[in-house]
């Protein structure tokens, strides 16, 4: 990139990011140009993304904690997944945790500073009985930690299931798009890209906060990366987790190492420019691919997973907290709204006229 082209590019994407005007978003061409910048320009790109990140999220980092309710033996064949049909990966396999066991695990994450607990179960999607089981688990988690945010990730949702989860106290639902629609069939054959889009829509339609992201490093092109990030923008989620492939032995993508720490940072910066006022989460694989550049990623992302992942161990929670502090950031407290004011949900009135609750006067 020429000496004049880079400043012009960064000036444009930063200006659009600071404004966060849906009528004037970062374009596909600009997003591709960010990914095409050289390693010698990396610090300028990260600093530009940092300006946008701080505009909307200050120096706060939201901590999220994963609880794997049911591990392994999934009937889907997602090529990247250690729990997939036919996986020979040496990962834990167990059926549903009891509500108390799940609440114990969640409490450990909250004690470590997590603001959100993510309850995850392997499988194509939940049965109605599974939804009832998760509802009991949510109750057990909330009984011990009433202020914690609860996100569920149970696969493809059927009609009415998102509403049941919301009634049970679930705040958010995660279902990632993972890669672009054009290449989705190259990473999964047992369901389609449209199925994932439909589930995100069902979660949003039920009033749940939508969480949907991607996995980088699966052999995709820059065009695929930009397209999935733009496809996510069209869905308007509140959270966008950016995962980096963990190439488990015993899966079709074992031995796939296509990312450098510099490329991973460019992907995060591009995601921030396209989603300026959305929670961008530094997710699975960060330790493997960012390595010593993890602290720089916090200039782009305002959220991370604390500790371990679903089937792999992560960086120690204590080390995560030290990294956040050393990089000049602070852990977001339970009483702080993550989202910028203009993106917060409208609060439905349940006091005053027509109720037994005193009015706000």
Q: Which two tokens stand for residue 342?
A: 């203009």
Largest CA distance in the chain: 66
How many other C-beta atoms can be found within 10 angstroms of the C-beta atom of residue 147?
10
281 belongs to an annotated ligand binding site: yes
Angle between helices 28-35 and 222-235 (to 10 degrees): 140
74 belongs to an annotated ligand binding site: yes
300 belongs to an annotated ligand binding site: no
78 belongs to an annotated ligand binding site: yes
3-state per-residue secondary structure call for the chain: CCCCHHHHHHHHHHHHHHHCCCCCCCCHHHHHHHHCCCHHHHHHHHHHHHHHHHHHHCCEEEEEEEEEEEECCCCCCCCCCCCCCCCCCCCCCECCCCHHHHHHHHHHHHHCCCCEEEEEECCCCCCHHHHHHHHHHHHHHHHHCCCCEEEEECCCCCCCHHHHHHHCCCCEEECCCECCHHHHHHCCCCCCHHHHHHHHHHHHHCCCEEECCEEECCCCCHHHHHHHHHHHHHHCCCEEEEEECCCCCCCCCCCCCCCCHHHHHHHHHHHHHHCCCCEEEECCCHHHHHHHHHHHHCCCCCEEECCCCCCCCCCCHHHHHHHHHHCCCEECCCCCCCCCHHHCCCCCCCCCCCCCCCCCC
| CA nearest neighbour of 74 among 176, 232, 190, 158 | 190
153 belongs to an annotated ligand binding site: no
| CA nearest neighbour of 11 among 57, 39, 48 | 48
Distance CA 189, CA 126 (A): 19
Q: Which two tokens stand for residue 207?
A: 């009033």
Annotated binding site: 74, 78, 81, 118, 151, 211, 281
Annotated binding site for [2Fe-2S] cluster: 118, 151, 211, 281
Annotated binding site for [4Fe-4S] cluster: 74, 78, 81
């Amino acid at each position: 990139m020429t000496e004049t082209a880079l400043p012009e590019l960064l000036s444009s994407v930063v200006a659009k990011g600071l404004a966060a005007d849906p009528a004037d978003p970062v374009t596909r061409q600009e997003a591709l140009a960010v990914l095409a910048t050289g390693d010698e320009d990396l610090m300028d790109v990260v600093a530009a993304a940092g300006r946008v990140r701080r505009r909307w999220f200050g120096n706060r980092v939201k901590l999220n904690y994963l609880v794997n309710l049911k591990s392994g033996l999934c009937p889907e064949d997602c090529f990247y997944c250690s729990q997939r049909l036919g996986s020979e990966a040496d990962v834990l396999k167990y059926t549903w945790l009891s509500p108390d066991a799940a609440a114990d695990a969640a409490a450990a994450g909250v004690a470590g500073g997590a603001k959100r607990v993510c309850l995850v179960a392997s499988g194509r999607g939940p049965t109605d009985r599974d939804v009832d089981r998760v509802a009991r688990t949510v109750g057990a988690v909330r009984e011990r930690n009433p202020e914690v945010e609860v996100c569920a990730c149970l696969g493809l949702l059927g009609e009415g299931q998102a509403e049941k989860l919301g009634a049970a106290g679930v705040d958010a639902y995660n279902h990632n798009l993972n890669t672009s629609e054009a290449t989705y069939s190259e990473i999964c054959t047992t369901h389609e890209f449209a199925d994932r889009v439909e589930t995100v829509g069902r979660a949003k339609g039920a009033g749940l906060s939508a969480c949907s992201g991607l996995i980088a490093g699966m052999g995709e092109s820059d065009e695929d990366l930009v397209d999935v990030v733009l496809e996510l923008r069209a869905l308007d989620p509140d959270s966008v987790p950016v995962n980096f492939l963990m190439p488990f032995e015993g899966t079709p993508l074992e031995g796939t190492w296509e990312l450098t720490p510099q490329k991973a940072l460019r992907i995060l910066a591009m995601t921030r420019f396209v989603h300026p006022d959305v929670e961008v989460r530094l997710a699975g694989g960060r330790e493997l691919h960012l390595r010593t550049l993890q602290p720089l990623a916090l200039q782009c992302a305002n959220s991370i997973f604390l500790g371990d992942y679903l089937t792999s161990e992560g960086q120690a929670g204590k080390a995560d907290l030290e990294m956040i502090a050393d990089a000049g950031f602070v852990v977001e407290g339970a009483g702080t709204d993550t989202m910028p004011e203009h993106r917060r949900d409208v609060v439905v009135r349940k006091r005053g006229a027509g109720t037994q609750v005193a009015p706000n006067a």
